[in-house]
Structure 1
């Protein structure tokens, strides 16, 4: 019988620490995005765009939400370059500090009634800065886990990066729910300063995540690659050598981003402004959706180790396609129960699509430009799939009716399904040289014995 060595147990402890760091960083990333999305849907039209009509205030508010996606590719390029050249760990420390500082600053911006047009300009500036940092965050967190996880359990350990979305959704909605409930009927006080509390809490979360990240070790895969020395620009290399994969990976995540930010931003706004649902109901449904997302992310990530990343991602996209056809009609029904089913069900599908991604996308790219390739594809998909639909939806609804929103969502889902099917399966691939898949089963058997002994 094989026994685990001391080195095996040290590696097990190390990857658990990395998984925790990736989980905390990802949770803060999504927390900052979701509290901003919630505020953009329910608060910012009144605080920063009070002189506009309700429709234009909503469009302007959701436009500031979308602004972060414009700076995400720049962040992906900048942090991807340094992540591929100076290391994953150091880069992630900078993304965390910038992301946290910009979120706290959002909570400190005076309203338009106090400082005039400078208020929305400052809001957009902080949002762009936040997007710049987030552009480098996900890829770095995913790579730190993927490059140190054992082959047969890479989906499992990368799962913790993806669990950040559901955790942030639950945490963000609970914080807003608690703050909103604490003010009760004092709506004016909530709009003046109560909504700022969730943003200021980011400072505490960032401090915890920073402490964890500063105690990480650099990825051994990166260290080995760096020792060989590389010339050229990593982003240019990724596009030149694996341009097809960059495009397909971006397409594969578009539907996921579309669903996540429609259900996290546009639908809550629609429920509040068109259906006049109570804000507490909207936030409680968001909490339930976050819990549902956590369950399905965990299941799909673990199953991707057995059945493959591409197959699980394609399954999620295939389920999403018919779902998008009934999603907005469920929302529009005016029935709070159907609204809850629509939102919670959408988060379940999002969880299926999200689960394998933190292992799948890093496995696609060669190590010397992996940070750049993963960051570029993920963020380009995020811009097109995440930024455009929430901003276009109120315009489409006003101009063409609800069918146009359904058609748009179905179109994004088709792009994701086709892109996922055109990608190559990567489960079991060695990350030291992404171009050369390695045999899987012997490695899996050995790693399972070592983990059991640890």
Structure 2
């Protein structure tokens, strides 16, 4: 593969122990803000896809059809993410991290804001659904390049021996985004009368419009970034490739495969702890309660298709999730220093083994209990344990995936692995979990999580430790990671 050399820097090539190019505060903010918006957007859209979009954008006359159409636009972002990973990865490895990060955040911010000002079906007919789909695809496209760029900003500017700790900053965007989005929707939903009245008229738009505030802050910080010393070194040594995509598939395909499976259990756990648990937790716990809910809505009820859930009120269960997500954030931060001390691979092997055991214990926490108070305590413990494991496995990924690749294909390689894993884990996990739940109950959903954990564990066992890899390897020769 031929290469082209970017304009060389006038400064001498930096050493692996050279001072980071950007201040700690700038690195933290620049890497954190984008992923916070990413997950904030995910939960805002997911909530609106249930409460708002079926009514205002897909009024088909059938509740199930409208909900399916709404979720179809939600899932469309997953298809756009790998495309965004290829495009932003290409430009990030060829022209630098700064401009690419600014472009991805701006694209994401504009798309999210515009959702908040979209006309509804009553105003423009089927064009409303089309506009919503286009903006959702734009969000997915932008998000395909956002995570990797944020992870590279953090890790390529990390001091020696603290790469995993710095890599937890973009990961922290997941719990922060969850808390902000769900708290804001709860407040607005309560203040405007729930699914009726002012909430449907204008209240649902506020979370999407509010994202502009975070985007402006993120752009202000990212425009002040300078390129990392690792990228400057790669440019000076002539390692920049004309087609990073071709290079990563030709010379680093093993890393792509392993990186994808490293993230598999993490993605499945994440979406089970959020989407599946919310569905299970707010579903009636008894046939009588389900019958009463159906009667109140004026719809038919078939007891033969009923599968019991937690029976919690929506507001109560979301608050329980938020409590669990606090532990998600705490353990995300704690995982970084531990991974720097003992290695990413060793930590993740232990955490993944714990995820496998946790999956097999679903029945202990989610079986109906005779005492509702005891059941509530068990479910809260379930959420806390699950999110603790989520933070412990998600935190080190901010360093691990980029460490699999040399500088000249690091953006492309880590973006592809991260986003392909999102399809294998995130895109199908809610559907698979729902089917398994209806077939045999929550215990089979836990078995599914354990099975994905075993695949991740195998990938970790056959891989090598990346803690001490030369992170300023420009990529002129072959990678020594595997």
Q: Please, what TM-score do these two structures have when normalized by structure 1?
A: 0.87
State the match for 2:282 in structure 1: 272
Task: Tell me which of 86, 93, 97 is aligned to 1:88.
Answer: 97
Task: Tell me which of 161, 164, 175 is aligned to 1:155.
Answer: 164
State the match for 2:358 in structure 1: 323
Instruction: Give secondary structure in 2 for the equivalent of 1:187.
Output: coil
Matches within 5 A, 1:424-435: 424-433=464-473, 435=479
Matches within 5 A, 1:16-27: 16-27=25-36
Task: Tell me which of 353, 359, 363 is aligned to 2:403.
Answer: 363
Distance in 2 (CA, whole Å) between partners of 1:238 and 1:81 is 10
Task: Tell me which of 117, 138, 146 is aligned to 1:137.
Answer: 146
1:84-110 CA-to-partner distances (Å, cap 9, x unmatched) read 001001000000001111111222233
Query: Does residue 1:417 correspond to 2:457, yes or no?
Result: yes
Query: Does residue 1:345 correspond to 2:385, yes or no?
Result: yes
1:115-173 CA-to-partner distances (Å, cap 9, x unmatched) read 44333332222111101000001101111121121231111112211111111111112
1:269-297 CA-to-partner distances (Å, cap 9, x unmatched) read 34334455322213212321221111100
CA pair 364-185 structure 1, distance change in 2 beyond 3 A: closer
CA pair 409-52 structure 1, distance change in 2 beyond 3 A: farther
Distance in 2 (CA, whole Å) between partners of 1:366 and 1:10 is 20
Distance in 2 (CA, whole Å) between partners of 1:336 and 1:51 is 37
State the match for 1:381 in structure 2: 421
Task: Tell me which of 240, 243, 259 is aligned to 1:249.
Answer: 259
State the match for 1:178 in structure 2: 187
Q: What is the deviation of 1:406?
A: 3.3
Q: Is the 8 A contact 1:34 1:264 kept in 2?
A: no
State the match for 1:289 in structure 2: 324
Q: Is the 8 A contact 1:225 1:368 kept in 2?
A: yes
Instruction: Give secondary structure in 1 for the equivalent of 2:103.
Output: helix
1:349-396 CA-to-partner distances (Å, cap 9, x unmatched) read 110001111111111101111110000000000111011112343344
State the match for 2:203 in structure 1: 194
State the match for 2:129 in structure 1: 120
Q: What is the deviation of 1:56?
A: 4.5
CA pair 257-25 structure 1, distance change in 2 beyond 3 A: same
Q: How much is the aligned-residue C-alpha RMSD, in angstroms? A: 2.5
Deviates more, 1:380-389 or 1:309-318: 309-318
Consecutive unaligned residues in structure 1, runs of 5 or more: 1-7, 438-454
Distance in 2 (CA, whole Å) between partners of 1:199 and 1:408 is 34
Q: Is the 8 A contact 2:85 2:419 kept in 1?
A: yes
Q: What is the deviation of 1:201?
A: 0.5
Deviates more, 1:402-411 or 1:381-390: 402-411
Deviates more, 1:65-74 or 1:272-281: 272-281
Q: Is the 8 A contact 2:362 2:442 kept in 1?
A: no
Query: Does residue 1:204 correspond to 2:213, yes or no?
Result: yes
Residue correspondences, number: 430
1:227-256 CA-to-partner distances (Å, cap 9, x unmatched) read 233344111211211111101110111111
1:3-50 CA-to-partner distances (Å, cap 9, x unmatched) read xxxxx9974862442122101222112211122223334443444444
Task: Tell me which of 422, 426, 431 is aligned to 1:391.
Answer: 431
Instruction: Give secondary structure in 1 for the equivalent of 2:136.
Output: helix
Deviates more, 1:265-274 or 1:28-37: 265-274
Query: Does residue 1:51 correspond to 2:60, yes or no?
Result: yes
State the match for 2:348 in structure 1: 313
CA pair 193-421 structure 1, distance change in 2 beyond 3 A: farther
